[in-house]
Structure 1
Amino acid sequence: MNNRQLFLSHLAQTTDFPLLIEIEKAEGIYMYGPNNERYIDLISGIGVSNVGHRHPRVIGAIKDQLDKYLHLMVYGEYVQTPQAKLAEALVHTLPDGLDNVYLVNSGSEAVEGALKLAKRYTNRREIISCINAYHGSSHGSLSVGGNEIFKRSYRPLLPGISHIAYGNENDLDLITEQSAAIIIETIQGEAGIRVADASYFKALRKRCNETGTLLIMDEIQAGFGRTGKFWAFEHFGIQPDILVCAKGMGGGMPIGAFISSKEIMGHFKSNPLLGHITTFGGHPVSAVASLATIQVLKEAQVVEQVEKKAALFRDLLVHDKIISIRNKGLMMAVQFESFEVLKPIIDKAISLGVVTDWFLFCDDSMRLAPPLIITEEQINEACTLILQAIDEA
């Protein structure tokens, strides 16, 4: 059987209509098929490849680590240079009070750890999250997700979960002295790139302070330069008690983290000890890839160029079928009349060599989240092909 037949026969499927794009290699913003078909990747594997596919610094770090060691021991027992150096680099991107890093394998795992930490630290059981939030697919992260369609088949989920409207200050009164934490996406991703006002985040931070509730900010999609600042919360003049990250963190390798203060994180050391455990979290190969990613973002001033590139997308994507464009940096949603209008455009764009997507909870909008290293010339080419797809679809 060929690869497509093997894929359909032996790999678990999550829909009856997978994209079935076969990729042989990838470099920068481009992916290539077996017959050298070229695709511009405008979704970065859903916000993963912030420094592009196979960045030379990332590949070099991986190759160097392969000559030293792979997995040695469960997280937190052996002193491993890749983990220690990565934690140091992460802390240096953050304000005081976010100085302790727990490395895991993915965003969902980071959310799970953050929820456990909030309950353990506060000795409370109630968690608040937002309507149309997406925090992952494992049981705990699904429990705090904000869309019932994805949850109803898996109940019972975690008890004690309440939902508020993102960006609505009136709902903040639902955060009380019984709330262990509120978990919130700094920028709502799967809801179609929704951005609350700075005043909302300041009110949220104030309410958490008043009630002793921990503020968990999920930057799994929005972190690592995606919005034009290294961390999206920097736009709003506040900081979380626990920060969750993954996706763009690894340069294409699987890794995630939840980050807090040493005082809060220290509660995992007792009652019980080993309060959170992971076998592969902070895998040395993923850790060196993440460190190289941070170095590229910092040294090449990639983040500083994001807003200019986002503005170019907005200037070029002008069409009477485009209703609006919502964005924070290169986290973008291009809105059309309906999914029925959008889906043929996405399909046509793929046939023209441009990969886009829609959002889980906003299927009338096209997702654009290109590698942050995309050039102005490449943006021009990609937008020309999207406009062609709109016309031809």
Structure 2
Amino acid sequence: MTKFVRAFDDSGLVPAYARQPVEFVRGLGSALWDVDGIEYLDLQTGLAVNSVGHCHPRVVEAIRHQAAQLIHVGNLFHTGPGPLLARRLAESSLGGRVHFANSGTEANEAAIKMARKAKQGGDVISVHRGFHGRTYGSLSATPQEAKQAPFAPLVPGFFAVAPTAEALTAAIDERTAAVILEPIQGESGVYELDADVLRAAREACDRVGAALIFDEVQVGLGRTGTLWAYEHSGVVPDLMTVAKALGGGLPIGAVITNERFAAGFEAGDHGSTFAGGPVPCAAGLAVLDVVSDPTMLTRVRDRGAQLREQLAELPGVVEVRGRGFMLAVELDPSRAEPATALVGRALSEERLVLNATGPTTLRILPALTITDAELDEGIARLARLLDPK
């Protein structure tokens, strides 16, 4: 890391992030290089953003081409890439329309607003372990005390229950405007909600006219081996939020609606200066081209299952959770070394980029384009770190 960057981080930036002591300057596929030219293997992908790998040539070319023509004019005018991307997102999923945002939390804010407008108010139900973002509405739907407490009071009308069919059925009533769920809860440690939980939420929402929102910000766009995670259960939401991987590294989020919510906003109801700009939408079109490939999705399912088995055999691993290329490794809690320290050692000793979601949990988020050889190398490096010898 250059002295300038470290000094600027220490004196120029609000200390909102616990950064690792490395300055990355280049990426290609599943490889990263630091300022000293040292190569790293990335199994974290910018928290699932770089799902098609770093600097995928189709994404780079789409960005370069669009940026040379038009970067921004705002949402008071028509541009080409946004409507094209919206159509492809809707046709690949819920069949309605799309509202663009700049991030996952903004997409969740918009979805919550759509649901409350449709019901003319009402409560929002989420489940324990969920994470939906850090802006006030999304944070209010995120029942994690450490994240909520410093910023109280939160938005009223948000309630969290256990992630069970019984708890959701009991909680959803005529006062409910929306239920928001992650099909696989990523930030809390990759916990997949059972299909019966999703079905119970669907049935209860239908009974009272509430909106079922699936937060696929992290889990969507091929990460589990289907384009959308809801396809595994067959439970279809009314609204779905996406972000992270959609821009290939550029900031973009979206709410995808079904036909019922296709006119969820009228002019002036909601807005954003930058959302749906031509450059990130051009990147999104290129990303969709890559992640929609059936051969790639099949490989993510099959290789992800093999990866689970390989991870489960490593020393000190007591459980592996998740689907496809969205996995969590649960370490033996008797280990003296916390997962956060292991992540630091992985970076410095093995040049392996990982992420910890808790004291005993590693999250594995490889690029969907990663090679078998790179995955095997990642397993070998992790095995050396976990070996008590």
TM-score by length of 1: 0.94
Shift of 1:20: 2.4
Write the deviation string for residues 226-269 of structure 1: whole angstroms up to 9, x where unpaired: 11110000001111111001001111111000111354242421
Structure 1 residue 66 corresponds to structure 2 residue 62: no
Which residue of 309, 320, 329 maps to 1:325? 320
Structure 1 residue 213 corresponds to structure 2 residue 213: no
What is the count of residue pairs matched by the alignment?
Answer: 383
Matching residue of 1:136:
133
Assess, with a 3 A threshold, how the Cα gap between structure 1 residues 92 and 267 changes in structure 2: closer, same or farther: closer
Structure 1 residue 156 corresponds to structure 2 residue 157: no
Matching residue of 2:235:
238
Question: Which secondary structure state, in structure 1, belongs to the residue aligned with residue 387 of structure 2?
Answer: helix
Q: Which blocks of at least 5 consecutive residues in structure 2 are unaligned?
A: none
Distance 1:280 1:166 in 2: 35
Which residue of 230, 254, 257 maps to 1:257? 254
Distance 1:300 1:202 in 2: 26
Runs of 4+, deviation exceeding 6 Å? none
Shift of 1:55: 0.3
> 1:95-106 residue pairs with structure 2 within 5 A?
95=94, 98-106=95-103
Assess, with a 3 A threshold, how the Cα gap between structure 1 residues 29 and 167 changes in structure 2: closer, same or farther: farther
Say whether the 8 Å CA contact 1:312–1:379 is kept in structure 2: no
Matching residue of 2:284:
290
Distance 1:390 1:320 in 2: 6
Q: Which blocks of at least 5 consecutive residues in structure 1 are unaligned?
A: none
Matching residue of 1:20:
21
Question: Which secondary structure state, in structure 2, belongs to the residue aligned with residue 12 of structure 1?
Answer: coil
Structure 1 residue 174 corresponds to structure 2 residue 168: no
Distance 1:261 1:190 in 2: 26
> 1:1-393 residue pairs with structure 2 within 5 A?
2-15=4-17, 17-73=18-74, 75=75, 77-95=76-94, 98-269=95-266, 273-299=267-293, 301-317=295-311, 318-338=313-333, 340-351=337-348, 352-359=350-357, 362-391=358-387
Distance 2:233 2:98 in 1: 23
RMSD value, Cα: 1.6
Shift of 1:36: 1.0
Distance 1:151 1:314 in 2: 33
Shift of 1:172: 2.0
Distance 1:282 1:24 in 2: 27
Distance 1:348 1:279 in 2: 41
Say whether the 8 Å CA contact 1:312–1:376 is kept in structure 2: no
Question: Which secondary structure state, in structure 2, belongs to the residue aligned with residue 142 of structure 1?
Answer: helix
Question: Which secondary structure state, in structure 2, belongs to the residue aligned with residue 367 of structure 1?
Answer: strand
TM-score by length of 2: 0.95
Q: Which amino acid aligns with 1:348?
A: R
Distance 2:243 2:86 in 1: 14
